[in-house]
Structure 1
Amino acid sequence: MSATLTVPHSARVRPAGRRGRIACGPVTTTDDSLAADIDACCRLQGEFTLRSGQVSTEYFDKYLFEADPLLLARVAREMVQIVPQDTEMLGGLEMGGIPIVTAISQITGTPALFVRKKAKEYGTAKLAEGPDFTGKRVTLIEDVITTGGAVRDATVALRERGATVEVVCCAIDRSPAGENPLADVGLEIRSVLTKAELDAARSVRRG
Protein backbone atom coordinates (compact mmCIF):
# COMPACT_ATOMS: atom_id res chain seq x y z
CA MET A 1 0.00 0.00 0.00
CA SER A 2 1.39 3.40 -0.95
CA ALA A 3 1.77 6.12 1.64
CA THR A 4 -0.25 9.31 1.49
CA LEU A 5 1.72 12.01 -0.27
CA THR A 6 1.16 15.69 0.35
CA VAL A 7 2.51 18.75 -1.42
CA PRO A 8 3.22 21.90 0.59
CA HIS A 9 1.53 25.09 -0.57
CA SER A 10 4.93 26.62 -1.26
CA ALA A 11 6.20 23.90 -3.61
CA ARG A 12 8.21 25.13 -6.59
CA VAL A 13 5.98 24.46 -9.56
CA ARG A 14 6.35 25.21 -13.26
CA PRO A 15 2.79 24.63 -14.45
CA ALA A 16 2.11 22.72 -17.64
CA GLY A 17 0.76 24.86 -20.44
CA ARG A 18 1.83 28.18 -18.89
CA ARG A 19 5.21 28.69 -20.47
CA GLY A 20 7.16 31.59 -19.05
CA ARG A 21 5.36 31.72 -15.71
CA ILE A 22 6.06 30.07 -12.39
CA ALA A 23 3.57 29.71 -9.56
CA CYS A 24 5.68 29.37 -6.45
CA GLY A 25 5.79 30.61 -2.92
CA PRO A 26 8.62 30.74 -0.40
CA VAL A 27 11.53 28.32 -0.55
CA THR A 28 10.26 24.86 0.35
CA THR A 29 13.53 23.10 1.10
CA THR A 30 13.57 22.33 4.81
CA ASP A 31 17.21 21.21 4.61
CA ASP A 32 18.85 24.65 4.64
CA SER A 33 22.35 23.45 3.77
CA LEU A 34 21.35 21.05 0.99
CA ALA A 35 22.17 23.39 -1.91
CA ALA A 36 25.59 24.23 -0.48
CA ASP A 37 26.42 20.60 0.25
CA ILE A 38 25.38 19.40 -3.21
CA ASP A 39 27.30 22.20 -4.89
CA ALA A 40 30.42 21.49 -2.84
CA CYS A 41 30.18 17.79 -3.68
CA CYS A 42 29.42 18.06 -7.39
CA ARG A 43 31.11 21.20 -8.74
CA LEU A 44 34.55 20.19 -10.01
CA GLN A 45 37.47 22.37 -11.08
CA GLY A 46 39.82 21.43 -13.92
CA GLU A 47 39.62 21.20 -17.70
CA PHE A 48 36.51 19.53 -19.08
CA THR A 49 35.19 19.08 -22.62
CA LEU A 50 31.45 19.68 -22.61
CA ARG A 51 28.86 17.94 -24.79
CA SER A 52 28.87 21.01 -27.04
CA GLY A 53 32.59 20.56 -27.65
CA GLN A 54 33.50 23.65 -25.67
CA VAL A 55 36.17 23.43 -22.97
CA SER A 56 35.29 24.56 -19.45
CA THR A 57 37.32 24.96 -16.27
CA GLU A 58 34.30 23.91 -14.23
CA TYR A 59 31.96 20.92 -14.37
CA PHE A 60 28.89 19.91 -12.34
CA ASP A 61 28.98 16.13 -11.86
CA LYS A 62 25.45 15.30 -10.71
CA TYR A 63 26.24 11.64 -10.12
CA LEU A 64 28.44 12.50 -7.16
CA PHE A 65 25.48 13.48 -4.96
CA GLU A 66 23.52 10.44 -6.12
CA ALA A 67 26.39 8.14 -5.20
CA ASP A 68 26.69 9.66 -1.72
CA PRO A 69 24.24 7.77 0.54
CA LEU A 70 23.75 10.65 2.97
CA LEU A 71 23.19 13.31 0.30
CA LEU A 72 20.91 10.98 -1.67
CA ALA A 73 18.80 10.36 1.44
CA ARG A 74 18.51 14.10 2.09
CA VAL A 75 17.44 14.76 -1.50
CA ALA A 76 14.87 11.95 -1.36
CA ARG A 77 13.34 13.31 1.86
CA GLU A 78 12.89 16.71 0.22
CA MET A 79 11.46 15.22 -2.98
CA VAL A 80 8.81 13.25 -1.08
CA GLN A 81 7.27 16.62 -0.16
CA ILE A 82 6.66 17.59 -3.80
CA VAL A 83 5.30 14.30 -5.16
CA PRO A 84 1.57 14.69 -6.00
CA GLN A 85 -0.80 13.10 -3.50
CA ASP A 86 -2.63 11.08 -6.16
CA THR A 87 0.54 9.38 -7.45
CA GLU A 88 0.06 5.64 -7.95
CA MET A 89 3.52 4.83 -9.30
CA LEU A 90 6.89 6.57 -9.48
CA GLY A 91 8.85 6.44 -12.73
CA GLY A 92 12.61 6.95 -12.41
CA LEU A 93 14.37 7.85 -15.65
CA GLU A 94 17.50 6.01 -16.77
CA MET A 95 19.91 6.51 -15.32
CA GLY A 96 20.08 9.46 -12.93
CA GLY A 97 16.47 9.14 -11.81
CA ILE A 98 16.80 5.50 -10.75
CA PRO A 99 18.70 5.88 -7.46
CA ILE A 100 16.42 8.76 -6.47
CA VAL A 101 13.18 6.95 -7.33
CA THR A 102 14.36 3.90 -5.39
CA ALA A 103 14.99 6.03 -2.29
CA ILE A 104 11.61 7.79 -2.59
CA SER A 105 9.83 4.48 -3.10
CA GLN A 106 11.40 3.12 0.07
CA ILE A 107 10.25 6.15 2.07
CA THR A 108 6.68 6.28 0.73
CA GLY A 109 5.92 2.66 -0.11
CA THR A 110 4.87 3.75 -3.61
CA PRO A 111 5.81 1.23 -6.35
CA ALA A 112 8.65 2.28 -8.65
CA LEU A 113 9.28 1.91 -12.37
CA PHE A 114 12.70 2.12 -13.98
CA VAL A 115 12.12 3.87 -17.30
CA ARG A 116 14.53 3.13 -20.14
CA LYS A 117 15.55 5.65 -22.79
CA LYS A 118 14.04 3.22 -25.27
CA ALA A 119 12.38 -0.16 -24.99
CA LYS A 120 14.83 -3.04 -25.04
CA GLU A 121 14.76 -5.23 -28.14
CA TYR A 122 14.95 -8.62 -26.43
CA GLY A 123 13.29 -10.59 -23.64
CA THR A 124 10.20 -8.77 -22.39
CA ALA A 125 10.96 -5.79 -24.68
CA LYS A 126 9.85 -3.42 -21.92
CA LEU A 127 10.17 0.36 -21.88
CA ALA A 128 9.84 0.43 -18.10
CA GLU A 129 10.96 -2.28 -15.70
CA GLY A 130 8.63 -2.98 -12.80
CA PRO A 131 4.88 -3.52 -12.29
CA ASP A 132 2.29 -2.97 -15.00
CA PHE A 133 1.58 0.76 -15.26
CA THR A 134 -1.36 0.65 -17.68
CA GLY A 135 -4.08 2.99 -16.42
CA LYS A 136 -1.90 4.19 -13.54
CA ARG A 137 -1.06 7.77 -12.59
CA VAL A 138 2.73 7.88 -12.88
CA THR A 139 4.87 10.73 -11.53
CA LEU A 140 8.27 10.90 -13.21
CA ILE A 141 11.41 11.29 -11.12
CA GLU A 142 14.57 12.85 -12.58
CA ASP A 143 17.82 14.12 -11.12
CA VAL A 144 18.41 17.25 -13.21
CA ILE A 145 16.26 18.95 -15.85
CA THR A 146 17.78 21.42 -18.30
CA THR A 147 16.03 21.08 -21.67
CA GLY A 148 13.91 18.12 -20.61
CA GLY A 149 14.55 16.01 -23.70
CA ALA A 150 14.70 12.64 -21.94
CA VAL A 151 11.69 13.50 -19.78
CA ARG A 152 9.69 14.53 -22.85
CA ASP A 153 10.48 11.26 -24.63
CA ALA A 154 9.57 9.20 -21.56
CA THR A 155 6.32 11.09 -21.09
CA VAL A 156 5.18 10.48 -24.65
CA ALA A 157 6.20 6.81 -24.58
CA LEU A 158 4.49 6.08 -21.25
CA ARG A 159 1.31 7.83 -22.34
CA GLU A 160 1.25 5.80 -25.55
CA ARG A 161 1.36 2.68 -23.36
CA GLY A 162 -1.58 3.72 -21.23
CA ALA A 163 -0.11 5.66 -18.30
CA THR A 164 -1.33 9.05 -17.07
CA VAL A 165 1.72 11.31 -16.76
CA GLU A 166 1.22 14.93 -15.68
CA VAL A 167 4.09 15.79 -13.32
CA VAL A 168 7.85 15.35 -13.17
CA CYS A 169 9.70 15.91 -9.90
CA CYS A 170 13.41 16.65 -10.06
CA ALA A 171 16.20 17.30 -7.59
CA ILE A 172 17.58 20.24 -9.57
CA ASP A 173 15.86 22.42 -12.18
CA ARG A 174 18.52 23.99 -14.40
CA SER A 175 16.13 25.26 -17.06
CA PRO A 176 15.92 29.02 -17.70
CA ALA A 177 14.17 30.91 -14.90
CA GLY A 178 10.51 31.52 -15.61
CA GLU A 179 10.21 28.88 -18.33
CA ASN A 180 8.81 25.37 -18.49
CA PRO A 181 10.66 23.48 -21.25
CA LEU A 182 8.08 20.68 -21.01
CA ALA A 183 4.96 22.81 -21.43
CA ASP A 184 4.63 21.52 -25.00
CA VAL A 185 3.74 18.06 -23.66
CA GLY A 186 1.58 19.41 -20.83
CA LEU A 187 3.99 18.36 -18.09
CA GLU A 188 4.34 20.22 -14.80
CA ILE A 189 7.85 20.49 -13.28
CA ARG A 190 8.34 20.41 -9.52
CA SER A 191 11.84 20.82 -8.13
CA VAL A 192 13.71 20.79 -4.84
CA LEU A 193 16.49 23.14 -5.96
CA THR A 194 17.21 25.45 -8.88
CA LYS A 195 20.40 26.41 -10.69
CA ALA A 196 20.15 29.88 -9.15
CA GLU A 197 20.18 28.40 -5.65
CA LEU A 198 23.23 26.28 -6.40
CA ASP A 199 25.00 29.31 -7.87
CA ALA A 200 24.10 31.36 -4.80
CA ALA A 201 25.44 28.63 -2.53
CA ARG A 202 28.70 28.62 -4.47
CA SER A 203 29.01 32.40 -4.14
CA VAL A 204 28.54 32.20 -0.38
CA ARG A 205 31.09 29.41 -0.13
CA ARG A 206 33.64 31.43 -2.07
CA GLY A 207 32.97 34.45 0.11
Structure 2
Amino acid sequence: MKEYNPMDTLRDELVNFLYDINAIKLGNFTLSSGSISRFYIDLRLLQSYPVYFRKAISLLKMLVLQRIGLDGFDYICSIPTSGTIFGSSLSFELFKPHIYVRKDAKGYGTQKKLEGDLKPGSRVLFVEDVVTTGNSLLTAVKAITDQTRCNRVVVLIDREQGAPEKFREYDMTIDSAISINQVIEILRNYKRISNSDYLTIKDEKVGI
Protein backbone atom coordinates (compact mmCIF):
# COMPACT_ATOMS: atom_id res chain seq x y z
CA MET A 1 0.00 0.00 0.00
CA LYS A 2 1.28 3.44 -0.97
CA GLU A 3 2.26 5.58 2.04
CA TYR A 4 0.01 8.60 2.60
CA ASN A 5 1.66 11.85 1.56
CA PRO A 6 -0.18 15.09 2.47
CA MET A 7 1.63 16.90 -0.35
CA ASP A 8 0.05 14.53 -2.90
CA THR A 9 -3.43 15.29 -1.54
CA LEU A 10 -2.81 19.04 -1.69
CA ARG A 11 -1.45 18.75 -5.25
CA ASP A 12 -4.55 16.88 -6.41
CA GLU A 13 -6.93 19.37 -4.79
CA LEU A 14 -5.05 22.40 -6.04
CA VAL A 15 -4.56 21.24 -9.63
CA ASN A 16 -8.23 20.30 -10.00
CA PHE A 17 -9.31 23.63 -8.55
CA LEU A 18 -6.94 25.59 -10.80
CA TYR A 19 -8.44 23.80 -13.77
CA ASP A 20 -11.99 24.58 -12.55
CA ILE A 21 -11.31 28.34 -12.34
CA ASN A 22 -9.43 28.43 -15.67
CA ALA A 23 -6.13 29.18 -14.00
CA ILE A 24 -4.89 26.23 -16.06
CA LYS A 25 -6.10 26.47 -19.64
CA LEU A 26 -5.62 24.42 -22.77
CA GLY A 27 -5.48 26.09 -26.18
CA ASN A 28 -2.91 28.11 -28.11
CA PHE A 29 -1.11 30.80 -26.17
CA THR A 30 1.84 33.14 -26.71
CA LEU A 31 4.06 33.19 -23.64
CA SER A 32 6.11 36.15 -22.39
CA SER A 33 9.16 34.47 -23.94
CA GLY A 34 7.45 34.69 -27.34
CA SER A 35 7.06 30.93 -27.74
CA ILE A 36 3.71 29.30 -28.48
CA SER A 37 2.26 26.87 -25.94
CA ARG A 38 -0.72 24.53 -25.79
CA PHE A 39 -1.32 25.39 -22.14
CA TYR A 40 -1.35 28.48 -19.97
CA ILE A 41 -1.06 28.87 -16.19
CA ASP A 42 -2.26 32.01 -14.40
CA LEU A 43 -1.83 31.63 -10.63
CA ARG A 44 -2.75 35.26 -9.96
CA LEU A 45 -6.37 34.09 -9.86
CA LEU A 46 -5.68 32.14 -6.67
CA GLN A 47 -5.57 35.24 -4.47
CA SER A 48 -9.33 35.61 -4.98
CA TYR A 49 -9.97 32.18 -3.42
CA PRO A 50 -8.61 32.27 0.17
CA VAL A 51 -9.16 28.58 0.96
CA TYR A 52 -7.20 27.35 -2.05
CA PHE A 53 -4.64 30.12 -1.84
CA ARG A 54 -4.00 28.88 1.69
CA LYS A 55 -3.56 25.34 0.33
CA ALA A 56 -0.98 26.64 -2.15
CA ILE A 57 0.98 28.35 0.62
CA SER A 58 0.77 25.18 2.74
CA LEU A 59 2.19 23.19 -0.16
CA LEU A 60 5.10 25.62 -0.54
CA LYS A 61 5.68 25.54 3.21
CA MET A 62 5.88 21.72 3.20
CA LEU A 63 8.30 21.88 0.27
CA VAL A 64 10.60 24.33 2.07
CA LEU A 65 10.58 22.35 5.30
CA GLN A 66 11.31 19.05 3.52
CA ARG A 67 13.90 20.19 0.98
CA ILE A 68 15.62 23.15 2.59
CA GLY A 69 14.70 23.56 6.25
CA LEU A 70 14.21 26.76 8.21
CA ASP A 71 17.93 26.99 8.98
CA GLY A 72 18.82 26.90 5.28
CA PHE A 73 18.04 30.55 4.50
CA ASP A 74 17.73 33.98 6.10
CA TYR A 75 15.35 35.88 3.81
CA ILE A 76 12.51 35.19 1.40
CA CYS A 77 12.65 37.20 -1.81
CA SER A 78 9.66 37.59 -4.13
CA ILE A 79 9.70 38.19 -7.87
CA PRO A 80 7.08 40.84 -8.83
CA THR A 81 4.40 40.89 -9.65
CA SER A 82 2.59 37.58 -9.32
CA GLY A 83 5.30 35.98 -7.20
CA THR A 84 4.99 38.66 -4.52
CA ILE A 85 1.66 37.46 -3.13
CA PHE A 86 3.13 33.98 -2.65
CA GLY A 87 6.49 35.08 -1.27
CA SER A 88 5.07 37.55 1.23
CA SER A 89 2.49 35.02 2.46
CA LEU A 90 5.12 32.31 2.78
CA SER A 91 7.41 34.61 4.76
CA PHE A 92 4.54 35.27 7.17
CA GLU A 93 3.99 31.52 7.59
CA LEU A 94 7.68 30.77 8.16
CA PHE A 95 8.48 33.85 10.27
CA LYS A 96 11.20 34.89 7.84
CA PRO A 97 11.92 38.48 6.72
CA HIS A 98 10.65 39.37 3.25
CA ILE A 99 12.21 41.41 0.45
CA TYR A 100 11.45 41.79 -3.24
CA VAL A 101 13.30 42.84 -6.36
CA ARG A 102 11.65 45.30 -8.71
CA LYS A 103 11.73 44.56 -12.42
CA ASP A 104 12.90 48.13 -12.94
CA ALA A 105 14.40 50.57 -10.47
CA LYS A 106 12.10 53.37 -9.33
CA GLY A 107 12.50 56.56 -11.33
CA TYR A 108 11.94 58.69 -8.24
CA GLY A 109 12.93 58.89 -4.57
CA THR A 110 15.87 56.63 -3.77
CA GLN A 111 15.50 54.80 -7.12
CA LYS A 112 15.96 51.44 -5.42
CA LYS A 113 15.53 48.12 -7.19
CA LEU A 114 15.52 46.08 -3.98
CA GLU A 115 12.71 46.70 -1.50
CA GLY A 116 13.28 45.68 2.11
CA ASP A 117 16.22 45.61 4.50
CA LEU A 118 18.71 42.98 3.30
CA LYS A 119 21.84 42.41 5.33
CA PRO A 120 24.92 41.75 3.13
CA GLY A 121 26.07 38.14 3.02
CA SER A 122 22.63 36.72 3.79
CA ARG A 123 21.21 33.52 2.33
CA VAL A 124 18.12 34.18 0.22
CA LEU A 125 15.27 31.88 -0.78
CA PHE A 126 13.66 33.19 -3.97
CA VAL A 127 9.95 32.44 -4.42
CA GLU A 128 8.11 32.42 -7.74
CA ASP A 129 4.65 31.23 -8.73
CA VAL A 130 5.38 29.75 -12.17
CA VAL A 131 8.74 29.24 -13.86
CA THR A 132 9.23 28.56 -17.57
CA THR A 133 12.64 29.47 -18.97
CA GLY A 134 13.72 31.15 -15.73
CA ASN A 135 15.02 34.29 -17.45
CA SER A 136 13.06 36.84 -15.38
CA LEU A 137 13.86 34.94 -12.21
CA LEU A 138 17.55 34.87 -13.05
CA THR A 139 17.52 38.63 -13.67
CA ALA A 140 16.21 39.15 -10.13
CA VAL A 141 18.81 36.79 -8.67
CA LYS A 142 21.64 38.59 -10.45
CA ALA A 143 20.34 41.97 -9.23
CA ILE A 144 21.29 41.14 -5.63
CA THR A 145 23.93 38.44 -6.08
CA ASP A 146 26.67 40.73 -4.78
CA GLN A 147 24.82 40.99 -1.45
CA THR A 148 23.90 37.32 -0.98
CA ARG A 149 25.28 33.79 -0.79
CA CYS A 150 24.00 30.18 -1.01
CA ASN A 151 20.75 31.16 -2.73
CA ARG A 152 17.89 28.71 -3.41
CA VAL A 153 14.64 28.91 -5.39
CA VAL A 154 11.19 27.44 -4.78
CA VAL A 155 8.30 27.67 -7.24
CA LEU A 156 4.72 26.52 -7.05
CA ILE A 157 4.59 25.19 -10.63
CA ASP A 158 7.52 24.38 -12.90
CA ARG A 159 6.57 24.22 -16.59
CA GLU A 160 9.70 22.05 -17.06
CA GLN A 161 11.04 24.02 -19.98
CA GLY A 162 14.64 24.53 -19.00
CA ALA A 163 14.75 26.68 -15.85
CA PRO A 164 16.26 24.10 -13.41
CA GLU A 165 18.98 23.20 -15.91
CA LYS A 166 19.79 26.88 -16.48
CA PHE A 167 20.08 27.57 -12.75
CA ARG A 168 22.39 24.61 -12.22
CA GLU A 169 24.93 26.52 -14.33
CA TYR A 170 24.94 29.10 -11.51
CA ASP A 171 25.17 26.41 -8.79
CA MET A 172 21.58 27.08 -7.76
CA THR A 173 18.74 24.62 -7.22
CA ILE A 174 15.08 25.12 -8.14
CA ASP A 175 12.63 23.06 -6.08
CA SER A 176 9.06 22.92 -7.36
CA ALA A 177 5.90 21.99 -5.46
CA ILE A 178 4.21 20.85 -8.68
CA SER A 179 5.70 20.02 -12.07
CA ILE A 180 3.74 20.31 -15.31
CA ASN A 181 4.14 16.56 -15.67
CA GLN A 182 2.32 16.12 -12.35
CA VAL A 183 -0.35 18.61 -13.48
CA ILE A 184 -1.24 16.64 -16.59
CA GLU A 185 -1.01 13.30 -14.79
CA ILE A 186 -3.50 14.54 -12.18
CA LEU A 187 -5.86 16.01 -14.78
CA ARG A 188 -5.80 12.81 -16.83
CA ASN A 189 -6.28 10.59 -13.77
CA TYR A 190 -9.33 12.63 -12.76
CA LYS A 191 -10.59 12.54 -16.38
CA ARG A 192 -10.41 16.31 -16.73
CA ILE A 193 -8.41 16.17 -19.97
CA SER A 194 -8.30 13.67 -22.80
CA ASN A 195 -5.40 11.36 -23.45
CA SER A 196 -4.64 13.25 -26.67
CA ASP A 197 -4.36 16.55 -24.72
CA TYR A 198 -2.14 14.79 -22.20
CA LEU A 199 0.21 13.55 -24.93
CA THR A 200 0.26 16.93 -26.71
CA ILE A 201 1.33 18.78 -23.55
CA LYS A 202 3.82 16.07 -22.64
CA ASP A 203 5.40 16.33 -26.11
CA GLU A 204 5.62 20.11 -25.79
CA LYS A 205 7.29 19.85 -22.38
CA VAL A 206 9.87 17.42 -23.73
CA GLY A 207 10.40 19.33 -26.94
CA ILE A 208 11.31 22.74 -25.51
Instruction: Tell me if both proteins adopt one fold, taking TM over 0.5 as the criterion.
Output: yes
Q: Larger strand proportion, structure 1 or 2?
A: 1
- 1:37 positional shift: 1.9
Structure 1 unmatched ranges of 5 or more = 1-25
- 1:123 positional shift: 1.4
1:201 corresponds to which of 186, 191, 197: 186
- 1:49 positional shift: 5.1
1:192 corresponds to which of 169, 174, 177: 177
For residue 166 of structure 1, what is the aligned residue in structure 2? 151
1:102 aligns with 2:88: yes
Q: Which amino acid aligns with 2:109?
A: G
- Number of residues paired by the alignment? 180
Written as runs of structure 1 = structure 2, the 5 A alignment for 1:111-122 is: 111-122=97-108
**Could you list the runs of 4 or more consecutive aligned residues of structure 1 that deviate by over 6 angstroms after TM superposition?**
none
Question: Does the 8 Å contact 1:146/1:175 carry over to 2?
Answer: yes
CA-to-aligned-CA distance 1:146-173 (integer Å, 9 cap, x gap): 110111111111112x112521000001
Q: Which amino acid aligns with 1:133?
A: K
1:152 aligns with 2:133: no
Q: Larger helix proportion, structure 1 or 2?
A: 2
What fraction of aligned residue pairs are identical, expressed as a percent?
A: 25
1:34 aligns with 2:9: no
Higher RCO, Cα 8 Å, sep 6+: 1
Q: Which amino acid aligns with 1:141?
A: V
Q: Distance in 1 between matches of 2:30 and 2:118?
A: 40
2:49 corresponds to which of 56, 64, 68: 68
For residue 17 of structure 1, what is the aligned residue in structure 2? none
Q: Distance in 2 between matches of 1:118 and 1:206?
A: 39
Q: Which amino acid aligns with 1:183?
A: R
Q: CA RMSD of the aligned region, Å?
A: 2.7
- 1:118 positional shift: 3.0
Going from structure 1 to structure 2, the CA distance change for 1:115 and 1:139 (only over 3 Å counts) comes to same
SS of equivalent to 1:185: coil
TM-score for the superposition, normalised by structure 2: 0.74
Going from structure 1 to structure 2, the CA distance change for 1:64 and 1:50 (only over 3 Å counts) comes to same
